[in-house]
Amino acid sequence: MQRLACMALRVVGAPRSHQKKNLRSMSVKIGNQSETESWRDKINVILLVATLVATVTFQAGFTMPGGYNNTNPDQGIANMLEKVKFQEFVICDTIAMYSSIIVAVTLIWAQLGDPSSMRVALKFALLLLGIALAMMSIAFFAGVYLVVSKLGWLANVVLLIGSSFIFALVVIFLPLFFLGSSSYHVFRHLSYYPFCLVLYTLGA
């Protein structure tokens, strides 16, 4: 409930307390170790997700849709190399893998620092993780679209479902990254409706 209250205050743009600096220094002195452990728990969750994304996208890079050519002179080359959706699959899968690897490295370094550096690293990692998840989703539906493209209606259904879920992913993920930036009116406005959806889902 405390976290929801803080999120609500940020969404509506409530002014920050002038005593924030003093309160922060007092809280660091009183519960520095517990705060560090709390941030490490958050980092471990994001690190686990980033590792899973890196693993999945790495494997997808070697199991190309359509398979490989087994005859000379193009032996080992992907069969669907000239297809636009295949190129989209490869580009998005590559971005997702490298983004998740950068997230993992950043969070590993963050665990060696203090809570302030952990907060900065987590903010940066959340943005990259959102990009990785979106790119992985696009790569998935591009690959599926590619292998069913000869059946027009099924390919269009895959395209529609994939686009809808990627839009939903962006709507859900944006408040996680931008909600803390309450000084920006546009971000507060964008975060308002997803936040109301969160409240409705939680029954709060």
- pTM score of the predicted model: 0.70
pLDDT at 30: 47
- Selection from 173, 150, 148, 174 nearest residue 161 by Cα: 148
Domain boundaries, the chain: 32-202
Mean pLDDT per 10-residue interval, the chain, length 204 residues: 63 60 50 67 87 92 81 78 88 94 88 74 85 90 88 89 85 63 58 67 63
Residue 16 zone, left/alpha/beta (φ > 0; ψ -120 to 50; rest): beta
Distances (CA, A) of 151 to 85, 148, 156, 194: 15, 6, 9, 36
CA angle 196, 138, 89 (to 5 degrees): 170
pLDDT of residue 182: 47
